[in-house]
Amino acid sequence: MQTISCPGTDGLTLIADEWGPAGGPPVLMLHGAGQNRHAWRATAAVLAEQGWSVLTVDARGHGDSDWSQEARYDVEHMGADVLALLDRFDQEPVVIGASMGGMAALAAQYASEVPLYRAVVLVDIAPNFAVEGATRIVTWMAGNPDGFATLEEASDAMAAYNPNRPRPKDLGGLTKVLREGPDGRWRWRWDPDYISSKPGFVTGDHEVMRQSMERVSEIMLDGARRAGRPVLLVRGGRSDLVTAESVQLFLDRVPTAEYLDVANTGHMVAGDDNDAFTTAVLEFLGRMP
């Protein structure tokens, strides 16, 4: 694995890790909101062992990538960065996008007249996602703006959000998602403006938030239709973001789509049960033409 810099849009630089053989079939992995490229480490390593050439990328405003000084974090901006990343490939990659990453992948396809991907894997994200579930995620990300005095405090906050996931035995791993500031406090590796820029969130206007999320859903649905390639929707069995109704609606409207439910996982499917998630992805990729 090696870490590289990739040009995004708006003059931003995105940081990525390359895994596997350079000549292998390409896979682009896009993480969810509040995560970074390290969320994919276990899966990327397995894919690389199987001969896939994998690129895991920190989205703008996340991880080690640049922050947008103008708070340009709409789905169109994320999608434009994906289009820039696709210039690196000499063939259509499989794209695996979790939550925000899935939105970005489909926003890129929405902006293109031709299919961009060999296949698409959406991880606990689909059009017509539940507004309540999305609001819970954004609200949690907006919490603790002053950071944490210790990594133990951060671990407590993570456990409160996802009580079903075992606590990490080595808190040093949390430095992948937190950085220590000059004041000695630990803060998340994402730009707070990613949250505050969301329409209606700061003012608490739920109708504005709903309308914004509906717009994103329309972009995602059109993008999935335009993909014209196999699509796998992987849902967390306990997800409060992707409902059974939204899954069925997606399957009805996107004829190339199929669906898999990973039991005993929440919105963070890969983190809750990485083995089951990776096995599902490998099985899907094994059927690619």
Six-digit token pair at 35? 């995560």
The average pLDDT across 34-49 equals 96
Is the confidence at residue 164, as pLDDT, over 80?
A: no
2-131+213-285 folds as: Rossmann fold (3.40.50)
Residue 120 Rama label (left phi>0; alpha psi -120 to 50; beta): beta
Q: DSSP letter at 39?
A: G
Q: Rounded to 10 degrees, what is the CA torsion of 145, 149, 153, 158?
A: 30
pTM given for the model: 0.95
Indicate the pLDDT class of residue 70, thresholds 50, 70 and 90: very high
pLDDT given at position 82: 98
Among 3, 190, 8, CA closest to 82: 8
Percent of the chain with pLDDT over 90: 76
Q: Round to whole Å and give the CA distance between 172 and 23.
A: 34
The predicted-structure confidence for 239-248, as pLDDT tens digits, reads as follows 989 999 999 9
pLDDT given at position 29: 98
The predicted-structure confidence for 121-136, as pLDDT tens digits, reads as follows 999 999 989 888 888 8
Is the confidence at residue 221, as pLDDT, over 90?
A: yes
**178 in Cβ contact with 169 (< 8 Å):** no
The identity of residue 68, as a single letter, is S
Q: Give domain limits for the chain.
A: 2-131+213-285
pLDDT given at position 61: 98
pLDDT given at position 27: 98
**129 in Cβ contact with 137 (< 8 Å):** no
Among 277, 238, 283, 285, CA closest to 42: 277
pLDDT given at position 237: 87
Find residue 29's DSSP bridge partners: 56, 96
Find residue 258's DSSP bridge partners: 232
**8 in Cβ contact with 84 (< 8 Å):** yes
